[in-house]
Chain A
Amino acid sequence: MNDKWTLLWQIALRNLRAHRRKSLIVGFILFLATGIIVFFGALVDAVDAGMTRSVTQSAAGHLQIHSADAKDKLALYGDEFASMPDIGLMLDFAAVAKVVRAVPNVKAIVPMGIDFAMSSQGNEMDRWLASLRQAVRDGDEPKIVERRDHVRAVVKRMYDELSGAKEMVSAGGDFVKQLADAKRATEPEFWNTFDADRLAALEFLENKISPLETHLSDAWVQFLGTDLDAFEANFDRFKLVEGTRVPKGKRGFLFNHGFYEEYLKHRVARVLDALKRHRDEGHSIDDDAEARGKRDRLVGQYRRVLYQLDLAAGVKLEAELRTYLAQNEADLPTLLQELLKVNDSNFDERYAWFYEHIAPHIELYPVKIGDVIPLQAYTRSGYSKSVNVKVYGTYTFEGLEKSDIGKAFNLVDLITFRELYALMTPERMAEVQALREKSGIKDVKREGAEAELFGGGDTELEKTVVARGFDEFGEGGIGKISRSDAEEGFDPAELERGVAINAAVLLHDASTEAQATALLAIEAATKAADLNVKVVGWQEAAGMVGQLAVVARLILYVIVFLLLLVAVVVINNSMVIATMERVKEIGTMRAIGASRRYIASLFVIETFVLGLVAGGLGVVGGVTGIVFWQAVGLPAQNAFMTFLFSGPRLHPDVSLTHILVALTLTMFFALLSTLYPAWLASRIRPVTAMAEDG
């Protein structure tokens, strides 16, 4: 018996050598399949882990909790409609936190909520005038003088520019009136009397001069309100870039550094930065339509620089630019336009020149660290709410600086968030109801509005009434206005008490199995405590972003499946051809007593040996590839890849599981593809071999 099987193995090995071509083709296919499965398996796992880190360590946590009354699905990074879903709210966060913290494996629970606010900055002149108005309000004389002189210089510059626009002057109309106003604002009489009635002079400048500058910079700011200390402690990718942390018990705002640089920075500087990044990534400006567009539009932005220069800076810069650009006759606007005409050959030099000579004279950021900014949001009560909040600094998620997800949120303390989110209280509802009753307004729905309003019955088109004088302020004026004080503190215990929209749960053991267990345990505990909340995994909480992991894995499975399908077909074909070539040999073996099973086994052994050798080599190849990229790091080419890789480079790691899975799959499909040829060979009869011989 043993001799028989030894002989079988010997024949199989001989056959592999004898049919070298077939063995090479099949072996190569198996080598390739195994190598690819090992390589991409490890890569996808690394991407999966990277993506998990990106999401879980940058706001999502491992699990998310929100109200069970949610109308929409939670999507931390926005849903497919790019809107913020309505996920209800947890009115008593403290109760939820208490129950969740008692669940085993829970490391922390961090309350949060996401919302948008408008930060309206007006144009450059508006900002200077607002600052001057504030100085006047505060009676800050040195600042008044400094701001006043700056505004005066900028107004002069604006007038010089506008009066040069001859076509517009000849067109007449409003422009001529505007020009006359601008001229008045440049005259010594205007500035000599400025101090006599500062508010009147400011009104004139704000309403007549400022509109001459057309650039408005309103920004929608997405923010995540949270317990800032807990956030920093539990999301370990959090890193302060500039400024300081928001002190405990203080209201405060932290800009996301990427948002601060790419959306708030001075327009000219940020376009130059974007072009530099583009070039640093090895691309050319001239060869890229988007970069060319940015470059071409840059020249038209010169006024954003011009209107920020005070008199002394303007004179100094004009002299420096004349020397630098070797244009002795040109004026400052022309020189600035010339400087901003960048291309691939002069970019690096002009970029450096801009930052060395111009940046110190302009406001690179409309909001600076330490400033107090007003944030205005439409609250859930339907009314708008404005809050003054101090900007303490900028932060980033380490490794995700270039990723869009890393720039998704600015951070604000939870107390400010709650103010901007404000729910309708019973007292306010009663007040609104009283107003409605006082007005006597009846609701008219769209459907049938014309018939209802113009049916003739209640319509009054010329009722004569007598004007009645009224005093809107009565005796008590309009009541006490509550001021938003950016310096106002709060009791840190307040963070727990009150509303949270959702909360991130972080686990000690974050393995997939542990996450699933914790999810079920929290669900059970909150249900037992009658808390009416829903618990979801980070993939679900991250919305479309979370689905990327599933999609990436699905793509790998499809690729591997197709690859193995091709391998099955190729191996099967090769073996069938080999069987046909070996009819005589098999027939002879059958004639001398080899059973059908014996013949079939011969083919299976051949494939098994080939699979082991080629698969083994494939494993070596795949592992070598992974080891190489592990050492070097696979570079992220764009923001999306930075998110996938959870950093600028991906360092994949190979495990025994990858090797075993690859070998098992390869062997299984190789043997599967041998079944038909083996069966075919086993059906060969001795007479067929003899007939072929004849």
Chain B
Amino acid sequence: MSTAMKTCLALLFVGSTAFAQTPPPAVPAAPSAVAAAPAAPLSAEKMKEILARIDDRQRNTGDYKAKAFIEQREKNKQDVFYEAVFYRRDISEQFLILFLAPRTEAGKGYLRIDKNLWMYDPSTGKWERRTERERIGGTNSRSQDFDPLNYARDFTHVYVGAERLGAFAVHHLKLRVKDGAKAPDPVIELWVDAATDNVLKQQDYALSGRLLRTAYYPKWEKVFSESKKTEIYYAKEIRIFDEVEKQNRTTVLIDKVDLRPLEPNIFTKAWLEFKSR
């Protein structure tokens, strides 16, 4: 090996080591798939800051409406597919899902006001109180997949380590729900992309430590909000794998987003009853 070649290799080695030790830029120009090395560990403060940023940028100061497709595949069962629209008013933490299709499901809905989650079936005209663990439309999705959890406010946090998820450098965090806060499961683990601060993976655990489900967020989009005067983020695609019934999986795909103001009385039982007449 020539001296020149040795020098080049040495420079390459030093260069890559130096690159690995350099914290990733907050907002990289390109996807972080290029950041092959693990991210630098986060301090507790930094971790909280990132979680607060995640929370903040997924919430609008005005209203939020999105059309979504939800697909559920289960072992030995027919596939289930929904077209639904969901509405959020983040300021008052109100949330509503209204199913549009298939035809037999149209008019069914979920309404959350404070910590109350209601399910409405227009065929019977009855409202039923449900819990945060409700499987939306019998799929593996829950209300948290449409109305994001408040990671910074409602959970305590522990840094697990800097890892890689596929081609991405990620921070692995463990969160435990605070008393009185709303969350379907008491413990969650997050894998946050070091470059963009987007959550790429979330695992939900029971108090016993049993893994219940794994969700992947491979696509994120951002849209400018007139009311917030900045962009808000949403997971365009969510892949949920049931960890109890291993063959079951759900995909949520956001088709369209609309940030125009909603009707003032939309988060009421009366509104959904009226629309489902």
Contact = CB atoms under 8 A, between A and B. Distances in A.
A447 B224 CA distance: 36
A464 B231 contact: yes
A439 B253 contact: yes
B81, B85, B201 — which one has the most chain A CB atoms within 10 A of its CB?
B81
Interface string B252-277: 01011111100000001110000111
A451 B82 CA distance: 27
B102 interface: yes
Interface in B54-81: 65, 67, 69, 71-74, 76-81
Contacts of B104: 383, 385, 428
B101 interface: yes
B189 interface: no
Interface residues of B, number: 85
Interface string A442-453: 011110011101
A385 B124 CA distance: 10
Interface stretch (A153-161, A478-486, A551-559): A478-486
B154 interface: no
B220 A478 contact: no
A203 to B, nearest CB: 6
Interface string A438-467: 111101111001110111101111111111
A123 B130 CA distance: 11
A435 B236 contact: no
Question: Secondary structure of the B side of the interface?
Answer: strand
Given A126-B129, A387-B124, A478-B107, A208 B249 contact: no
Contacts of B256: 468, 470
A211 interface: yes
A449 B239 contact: yes
A126 B117 CA distance: 13
A454 B269 contact: no
A483 B126 CA distance: 11
A491 to B, nearest CB: 21
Contacts of A450: 165-166, 201, 216
Contacts of A374: 121, 124, 126, 128
Contacts of A477: 275
B53 interface: no
Given A431-B103, A484-B124, A382 B79 contact: yes
A22 B138 CA distance: 76
A383 B138 contact: yes
A376 B239 CA distance: 27
A466 B224 contact: yes
Contacts of A483: 122-125
A646 B195 CA distance: 71
A206 B116 contact: yes
A467 B257 contact: yes
B24 to A, nearest CB: 13
Interface string B7-31: 0000000000000000000000001
Given A450-B165, A463-B220, A383 B137 contact: yes
A454 B122 CA distance: 41
Contacts of A451: 166
A446 B68 CA distance: 22
Contact of A459 (B65, B219, B241, B258): B219
Interface in A415-444: 424, 428-429, 431-432, 435-436, 438-441, 443-444
Given A374-B124, A388-B124, A436-B81, A461 B129 contact: no
B74 A435 contact: no
A232 B101 CA distance: 40
B123 A484 contact: yes
Contacts of B249: 444-446
A469 B127 contact: no
Contacts of A458: 218
Given A381-B78, A441-B251, A472 B85 contact: yes
B218 to A, nearest CB: 4
A431 B103 CA distance: 8
B221 A199 contact: no
Given A382-B138, A470-B258, A463 B222 contact: yes
Contacts of A383: 80, 102, 104-105, 137-138
A207 interface: yes
B44 interface: no
B209 to A, nearest CB: 21
A442 to B, nearest CB: 9
A19 interface: no
A595 interface: no
Given A381-B78, A484-B123, A454 B257 contact: no
A453 B239 contact: yes
A399 interface: no
B42 interface: no
Contacts of A130: 126-127
Contacts of A468: 256-258
A429 B102 CA distance: 10
Contacts of A388: 123-126
B137 A435 contact: no
B50 interface: no
A387 B125 CA distance: 10
Interface string B217-256: 0111111110000010000100101000010010101011
Contacts of A386: 121, 123-124, 126
B48 to A, nearest CB: 21
A458 B216 CA distance: 14
A10 B165 CA distance: 100
Given A122-B129, A126-B129, A450-B166, A463 B124 contact: no
B116 A211 contact: yes
A462 B100 contact: no
B140 interface: no
B133 interface: no
Interface in B128-147: 128-130, 137-138
A660 B241 CA distance: 66
A435 B83 contact: yes
A432 B220 CA distance: 26
Interface in B80-106: 80-83, 85, 98, 100-106
Given A446-B249, A465-B221, A478 B106 contact: yes
B212 to A, nearest CB: 14
A461 B196 contact: yes
A456 B259 CA distance: 30
Interface in A197-230: 199-200, 202-203, 206-208, 210-211, 216
B115 interface: yes
A433 B258 CA distance: 26
12 contacts: A173-B180, A199-B268, A381-B80, A382-B80, A384-B108, A435-B69, A439-B83, A443-B73, A451-B166, A470-B67, A481-B123, A483-B123
Interface of A: 86, 120, 122-123, 126, 130, 133, 137, 173-174, 199-200, 202-203, 206-208, 210-211, 216, 374, 376, 378, 380-388, 424, 428-429, 431-432, 435-436, 438-441, 443-446, 449-451, 453-456, 458-470, 472-473, 477-479, 481-484
The 7 tightest CB contacts between A and B, nearest first, are A454-B166, A456-B33, A456-B167, A439-B69, A382-B80, A453-B218, A374-B124
Given A458-B218, A462-B220, 14 more contacts: A122-B129, A130-B126, A133-B127, A199-B268, A203-B270, A207-B114, A376-B128, A385-B123, A432-B79, A436-B71, A451-B166, A454-B216, A466-B224, A467-B258
